[in-house]
Chain A
């Protein structure tokens, strides 16, 4: 079945360093979403990308959707301790309405 893979699984950075997580789908996606889950919390929507090659920025976060709409990335510039959490990408699973396929996530820890 369709899979969404994320790398790396874990990333430990020093505060102020940059961070990037990558997301790859086995099939072409119509759109991709990114969520952040703080430790002990629930996923919180960050952004949705729809167009091929789309790039969106939210302050220190930059999101990209690949030209082939099969991959995506999230880049955080100058990480802060508030960035700690697990970042998930989620692609449309097709078939069933509402079926988002989540990756396993990248867990980010930031050392002050």
Chain B
């Protein structure tokens, strides 16, 4: 088991609403990445936070935003929810390395359903 915790575990929202997902990183890790995993697909990179700043972003619209706090925990916010946003949202913590992708320690995820 990793030390990465996510809340809530499940969430049901309706189209147009906003949602905030939370993640506590593993002790000693200073970087948090968020991934979206649709059913039957591999995880897709949303963005990464390091030192409380967005350090990299995947191909997701601006209504996906995030925060990282001084204790390295993080939030993912999604505005104006769409049906296609229904997925498992995974948080992963790591230690940042400029030279190589560090291995990711994933949390158990938040299953978001948009109706």
Q: Give the B-binding residues of A (Cβ under 8 A).
A: 1, 4, 30-31, 33, 35, 41-45, 48, 50, 88, 90, 92-93, 95-105
Given A42-B108, A48-B101, 12 more A-B residue pairs with CB atoms under 8 Å apart are: A35-B104, A42-B106, A44-B106, A45-B104, A88-B43, A98-B33, A98-B94, A99-B48, A102-B35, A103-B42, A104-B40, A105-B41
In the complex the two chains form, is A42's CB within 8 Å of B56's CB? Answer: no
23 contacts between A and B (CB under 8 A): A31-B100, A41-B108, A42-B90, A42-B108, A43-B106, A48-B103, A50-B100, A93-B45, A96-B48, A96-B56, A97-B55, A97-B98, A98-B45, A98-B101, A100-B43, A100-B45, A100-B101, A100-B104, A101-B45, A102-B44, A103-B42, A104-B42, A105-B42
- Return the chain B residue nearest A105 by Cβ: B42
CA distance A50 to B23 in the complex (A): 29
Q: Does B107 contact A (CB under 8 A)?
A: yes
Binding site for A on B (CB under 8 A): 31, 33, 35, 40-45, 47-48, 50, 55-59, 90, 94, 96, 98, 100-101, 103-109
CB-defined contacts of A105 to chain B, threshold 8 Å:
41-42
Which of chain B's residues has its CB closest to A9's CB? B40
Query: How many Å from the CB of A17 to the closest CB on chain B?
Result: 24
Contacts of B103 in A (CB 8 A): 33, 45, 48
Q: Specify which chain B residues have a CB less than 8 angstroms from the CB of A102 in the assembled complex.
A: 35, 42-44
Complex Cα–Cα for A19 and B98 (A):
34
Q: Is the CB of A33 within 8 A of B43?
A: no
Residues of chain A within 8 A (CB-CB) of B50 are 97-98
